[in-house]
Amino acid sequence: MFKGSIVALITPFKSNKLDEDSYISIIHHHLNNGTSGLVPAGTTGESPTLNHEEHHRVIELCVQESKGKIPVIAGTGANSTKEAVFLTQSAKEAGADACLLVTPYYNKPNQKGLFEHYKAINDAVDIPQILYNVPSRTSCDLENETVISLSQLSNIIGIKDATGELGRIDFLKEKVKNDFIFISGDDLSFLEYIGRGGHGVISVTANVKPDLMHNICHSILNGDIEKSKAMMINNIQYAKNIFTLWTESELN
């Protein structure tokens, strides 16, 4: 259910309010361009700056507009365990298929604290939950042994790994339960991550190139590694050319 190119949705605002019309258009753009899943209210969607009403609304709209065509993985992580439980329950009530739970940022809990944080959410809300490890942003690393322990809990079904450390998936795949899901959270290394047994990517690039990200993921998941690499190389060069032109125009 959770595989391929999954987009970390942006949250558009207009006049300091959620721009619902633009947000709905963005959702339908992804439905029409091959995106395999939607992540509303993730960190790309500026979840730390959304109030609870806005947070619930972007998830609710996403569920309503996608109409079950592709899964909705709601961002519900917080550095407060109580708030994370509240947001996860709210997402379940809105109809999300799963929740994405970033490690507590700023607090820098130890590994036991991280286990207890996630266990509390697991025990409180019966919905599939995906761990999210991005230490470059949170200053908090969810270590492999903690992931292994958490993978045994009933509602924790996978991890979004944005560390860029590809050896982690090699180690974890031998230790976690067989149906555990591995999703890359790093657009720079997702191709190799999937090649090592990952199921997909939660992508920022998919906001602007949903069809490309879909095609690359489709190819790699079907074993066509060379085709996937060629698409990556061609579009990296394209992006570099655009950046060069933009830089030159700014200088002139």
The set of catalytic residues is: 132, 160
CB atoms within 10 A of CB 83: 14
Q: Are strands 73-75 and 13-14 parallel, antiparallel or unpaired?
A: unpaired
Nearest to 70 by CA among 47, 92, 39, 99: 39
Q: Contact at 8 Å (CB) between 35 and 71? A: no
Question: Would you state the torsion angle of the CA atoms of residues 75, 78, 82, 83, taken in this order, to the nearest 10 degrees?
Answer: -60
In the three-class reduction of DSSP (H, G, I as helix; E, B as strand; rest coil), residue 134 is classed as coil
Q: Contact at 8 Å (CB) between 144 and 159? A: no
- How far from chain centre, in Å, is Cα 4? 11
Please name the residue that has the structure tokens 């450390």.
165
Measured between alpha carbons, how far is 246 from 209 in angstroms, rounded to an integer? 19
**Amino acid at site 137:** R
CA distances from 175 to 138, 158, 180 (A): 25, 13, 10
* DSSP 8-state class, residue 206: G
CB atoms within 10 A of CB 228: 21
